[in-house]
Amino acid sequence: MDKTFPKVSVIIPVYNAEKYLSVCLESILIQTLTDFEVILVDDCSTDNSLAIAESYLERFGGRLKILTLDENTGSGAVPRNVGLEFSRGKYICFIDDDDFIIDIALETLYDFAENYQTDMVCMEKAFSCDEEPVPTKPLNEIGLIPPHFFTKEPLLEAGELTSERLEKFLRLSFGFPPWTKFLRRDFLLENKICLPEMKVGDDLIWTFELICRAKRILRVPNILYVYRTNSQSVMQKKRSPEQELRHWTNPLIIGIDYLNDFMNGLEIFSRADNLRLYVLNFFAKIQFDFMATAFKNLERHEAYKIFIEEFSESKGDHTALISYLLLMTNLYRNELSK
C-alpha cells in the first residue's frame, strides 16, 4: 500500500453531527478497499462532533486527518474545498456527515473508475433511511435522477462537451449532490474545479462545471450510498418566510454571475448564446421555485427590503444577473399583454 498516495481520499464536511458521525465513520472502517485516507473538515461545530472524530484517530491507523476551520462558513462548499486541497488520493469522494456507505462502496467505485479510465463516476440511485443512527427497517431505494434516465449497466459517455450532454443536464439526468460522484483528483486540479462559496446551490453549479469539463463520464446503477432524511439538514431545515427568501436569494445573486463567467471560457457558449440563456434560466428557475412559498407569506415591501439588503451585502456589479432579470421581466410583460 502506498502511504503517500492512497487510492481514494474520502472528504467529510462536518457541522454539529454528533448524532450521526459515528455511523458514518464506522461505515468507512469496514470498507473492503482499505487503501484510503479520510479528511474530516469541521466547520466549527458547537456539539461533540470534533471529540467523536478524534476518538476514531487510533482506529483509522493514520488514515484519518481532522481539520478545523477558523470560523463557521454556513455551507458545505468551503469544508469540501479545504478537504480537496489537503487530499492526496488518486480519486476523490464526498460523504455527508449524517450519511454512510455500504461496505463495498469504495472498492466498487474505484474499480469502475480504473476499468473505464474515467474523470467522473456518477451514481444514479441511493438508499435512504430516517434519522435513527442505525436503520431499523429495510432501506428505501431512491432515484437521484428521473427514472427514464436510469441505466441498467455501466454507461460511458466519452468526448468533449456537446449540446446533447447539456440537454441531459438541463433535463436533470445528472444528480447534483457531491456524494453522487467519484472523481479523479488530477481532473479537478487540472481544471481548477472547486465548489463556489455559496450558502446553497453550489452543488448544481459544480455539477455543471464537471459535465462541461469531463471527457469520460461513467453512469452506474449500483446502490452504494445511504442518504439520511435529516430534518436539520440545510435543505430540510424549517425557516421563517424571511429566512427562506434570504436563503435562496444568495445563490441567485452569486450563481447567475458565476455561471455566466464560467461559460465565457467555453467555445460552445460563444457559438450559441441560446444555450447560455437556457442554463441561466434553468438555474434561476430552481431558486425562484424555492422562493415561491416565502413570497406568498411576505408583503411586497417586506420582500423588496430583503432583496435590497441581500444585494447590498453582495460583491460585484451583477451585470449578468441584471441583464437576465431585465430580459425575463420583458418576456413576462409580453406574455401578460397577449
Evaluate if residue 98 carries a pLDDT over 50. Answer: yes
Query: Which stretch, 108-112, 139-143, 254-258, has highest mean pLDDT?
Result: 108-112
Confidence of residue 280 (pLDDT cuts 50, 70, 90): very high
* Cα-trace Rg, the chain: 21
Thinking of the domain 8-228, which architecture would CATH place it in?
A: Alpha-Beta Complex (3.90)
Instruction: Please tell me the distance from the alpha carbon of residue 279 to that of residue 275, in angstroms, as a whole number.
Output: 6
Region 33-41 average pLDDT: 98
The pLDDT of residue 1 is 43
Does pLDDT of 122 surpass 60?
Answer: yes
Spans of all domains in the chain? 8-228, 241-337
pLDDT at residue 246 greater than cutoff 50: yes
How confident is the model over 137-174, as pLDDT tens digits? 566 788 888 888 889 999 999 999 999 999 999 999 99
Question: How far is Cα 67 from Cα 149, in angstroms, rounded to an integer?
Answer: 38
Q: Which residue is it, cell 484517530? A: 57
**Cα 288 to Cα 307: distance, rounded to the nearest angstrom:** 13
Of the listed ranges 50-59, 69-78, 137-146, 233-242, the one predicted with least confidence: 233-242
pLDDT on residue 180: 96
CB–CB of 251/201 below 8 Å?
A: yes
pTM tops 0.85: yes
How far is residue 256's CA from residue 288's CA, in Å, rounded to a whole number?
13
